[in-house]
């Protein structure tokens, strides 16, 4: 292996591997260093996203969704069968096979693009030097540019120790081999709600402890309310304003101590998932003289261009400010690669879409109504319910709505919020509209195919100007 590169990328998640491929496409000699070990104890590219995040969670969400539809929905279509069963180990095995297919796919892409890969832990030593450690072996490589893409790891709260057996994090929650009878979850955030969906659909009694007064604090309040109602129907017991104080293992179960309105109580669970957020991963990364500084939140400090405080060292993805999302990490990686190559990589941080893959799905882009109020921006609102959309009713998925927020004076689209079937796909046209600084009127004038769910976006856009056709304005 050569020890001199134009670019060394540290981290092989969706930030790092995408940056490495784009660097190589631009003619830069590139090494990607990653230290992730997969479930089979072998090195695996793809980071959190492919191994223990986006992809495996969506595989389990899909399996469990099919099972739930068989039990609760298919009879509406006249489809009946007896004793629907799910074999959890087959479901987990299917998920593992999908993970392997995609992590192996990155190795193939690296080969095709001539990106070199090294399974090691990278440490920045200053002057463009990176120490690579693998077991007790170390080597040193040098690079004209370094991209840090070391991602994030879950954290816990005081008095709750994750053992990934009875008290699990995201990785543990994706590998449970038997449906727990009673599953406790700390945090009604993204991971908490997605994993509650998986295990709740398979039969677990779900209790979610959430410190805040609403679930998914980042979502628009109307969207969170609709979702909350649907989660209640799915028998998720979401306890707001409830703080977990401790979790102890007692007789092979987890005893959770929590506080609500100043009163402490205890409750026993078969398993407990800790989903209280993630921290930037800088462990073993920063040598004494590397010149890279951290923020007071422990993230790598970067400017809008992803430049750190050290020359020619860049940082992207979960390890820096901004939402912890795979597509944000990847787009930062592409932009940085292009900047290194002398081009003008660009990202609009105002148009990063969010998607929560519960049922109904939630998706949004841009400002929430609360944010616009706080910022004193005047706006118009257009909403439309999926219950009035023929396709949604034909699919037996009439829950939810589209809500659009447009500038009162210019009509520029400022935010789009969707809760309902296929929200994950529907949000894309709102992202495009916002990226082109389009207006609600643009969405209203575009022809949307009938019958489709996208008609709800169209009608919500018409409703901004109080001219929706299929509802009272």
Residue ranges that bind ligand NAD, judged by CB under 6 A: 157, 186-192, 194, 209-212, 217, 243-244, 275-278, 323-325, 355-357
Nearest to 8 by CA among 120, 111, 173, 169: 120
Binding mask 197-236 for ligand FAD (x = CB under 6 A): ----------------------------------------
Select 53 or 415, whichever has its Cβ closest to ligand NAD.
Answer: 53
- Tell me which of 27, 93, 105, 284 binds ligand FAD, using CB under 6 A: 284
Burial (0-12, 13-18, 19+ Cβ within 10 Å), 232: exposed
Select 278 or 367, whichever has its Cβ closest to ligand NAD.
Answer: 278
Select 157 or 166, whichever has its Cβ closest to ligand NAD.
Answer: 157
Work out what residue 74 binds among ligand NAD, ligand FAD, none; the CB cut-off runs from 5 to 8 Å by kind: none
Work out what residue 317 binds among ligand FAD, ligand NAD, none; the CB cut-off runs from 5 to 8 Å by kind: ligand FAD
Assess contact for 347 and 335: CB atoms under 8 A. yes
Q: Does 170 bind ligand FAD (CB under 6 A)?
A: yes
Q: Is the Cα dihedral 287, 2, 332, 314 positive or negative?
A: positive
CB of 105 to ligand NAD, least distance (A): 21
Among 48-56, 65-73, 93-101, 216-224, the segment contacting ligand FAD (CB under 6 A) = 48-56
CB of 277 to ligand NAD, least distance (A): 4
Q: Per CB under 6 A, which of residues 421..460 are in contact with ligand FAD?
A: none
Select 187 or 360, whichever has its Cβ closest to ligand NAD.
Answer: 187
- Tell me which of 5, 9, 12, 273 binds ligand FAD, using CB under 6 A: 12
Nearest to 128 by CA among 293, 289, 265: 289
CB of 97 to ligand FAD, least distance (A): 18
Assess contact for 247 and 157: CB atoms under 8 A. no
- Tell me which of 9, 10, 106, 444 binds ligand FAD, using CB under 6 A: 10
**Residue 450 appears among annotated catalytic residues:** yes
Q: Which of 75, 77, 450, 470 is catalytic?
A: 450
Work out what residue 187 binds among ligand FAD, ligand NAD, none; the CB cut-off runs from 5 to 8 Å by kind: ligand NAD
CB of 359 to ligand NAD, least distance (A): 13
Select 241 or 466, whichever has its Cβ closest to ligand NAD.
Answer: 241
Beta bridge partners of 247: 256
Instruction: Please give the radius of gyration of the chain, using alpha carbons only, rounded to the nearest integer.
Output: 24
Catalytic residues: 450
List contacts with ligand FAD (CB under 6 A): 10-16, 33-36, 47-49, 53-54, 57, 121-122, 149-152, 170, 191, 281, 284-285, 317-318, 324-327, 329
């Amino acid at each position: 292996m050569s020890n001199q590169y134009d670019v060394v990328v540290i981290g092989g998640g969706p930030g790092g591997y995408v940056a490495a491929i784009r660097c190589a496409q631009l003619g830069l000699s590139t090494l990607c260093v990653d230290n992730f070990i997969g479930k089979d104890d072998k090195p695996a590219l793809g980071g959190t996203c492919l191994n223990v995040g986006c992809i495996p969670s969506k595989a389990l969400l899909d399996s469990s969704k099919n099972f739930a539809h068989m039990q609760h929905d298919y009879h509406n279509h006249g489809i009946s069968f007896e004793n629907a069963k799910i074999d959890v180990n087959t479901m987990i095995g299917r998920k593992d096979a999908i993970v392997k297919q995609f992590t192996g796919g990155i190795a193939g892409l690296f080969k095709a693009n001539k990106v070199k890969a090294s399974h090691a832990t990278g440490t920045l030593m200053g002057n463009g030097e990176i120490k690579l450690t693998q077991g007790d072996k170390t080597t040193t490589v040098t690079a004209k540019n370094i991209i840090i893409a070391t991602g994030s790891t879950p954290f816990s709260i005081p008095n709750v120790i994750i053992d990934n057996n009875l008290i699990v994090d995201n990785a543990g929650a994706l590998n449970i081999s038997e449906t727990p009878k009673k599953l406790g979850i700390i945090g009604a955030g993204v991971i908490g709600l997605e994993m509650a969906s998986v295990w709740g659909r398979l039969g677990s009694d779900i209790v979610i402890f959430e410190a805040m007064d609403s679930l998914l604090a980042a979502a628009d309040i109307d969207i969170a309310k609709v979702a909350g109602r649907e989660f209640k129907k799915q028998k998720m017991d979401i306890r707001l304003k409830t703080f977990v104080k401790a979790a102890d293992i007692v007789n092979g179960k987890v005893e959770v101590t929590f506080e609500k309105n100043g009163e402490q109580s205890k409750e026993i669970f078969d398993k407990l998932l800790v989903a209280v957020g993630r921290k930037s991963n800088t462990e073993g990364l920063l040598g004494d003289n590397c010149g890279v500084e951290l923020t007071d939140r422990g993230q790598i400090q970067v400017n809008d261009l992803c430049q750190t405080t050290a020359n020619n060292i860049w940082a992207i993805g979960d390890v820096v400010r901004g939402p912890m999302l795979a597509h944000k990490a990847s787009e930062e990686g592409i932009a940085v690669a292009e900047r290194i190559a002398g081009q003008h990589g660009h990202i609009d941080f105002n148009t990063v879409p969010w998607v929560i893959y519960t049922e109904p799905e939630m998706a949004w882009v841009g400002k929430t109504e609360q944010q616009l109020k706080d910022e004193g921006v005047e706006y118009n609102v257009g909403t439309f319910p999926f219950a009035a959309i023929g396709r949604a009713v034909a699919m037996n998925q009439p829950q939810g709505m589209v809500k659009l927020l447009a500038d009162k004076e210019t009509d520029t689209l400022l935010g789009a919020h969707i809760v309902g079937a296929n929200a994950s796909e529907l949000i894309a046209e709102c992202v495009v509209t916002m990226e082109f600084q389009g207006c609600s009127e643009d969405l209203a004038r575009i022809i949307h195919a009938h019958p489709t769910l996208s008609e709800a976006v169209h009608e919500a856009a018409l409703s901004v100007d109080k001219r929706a056709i299929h509802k009272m304005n």
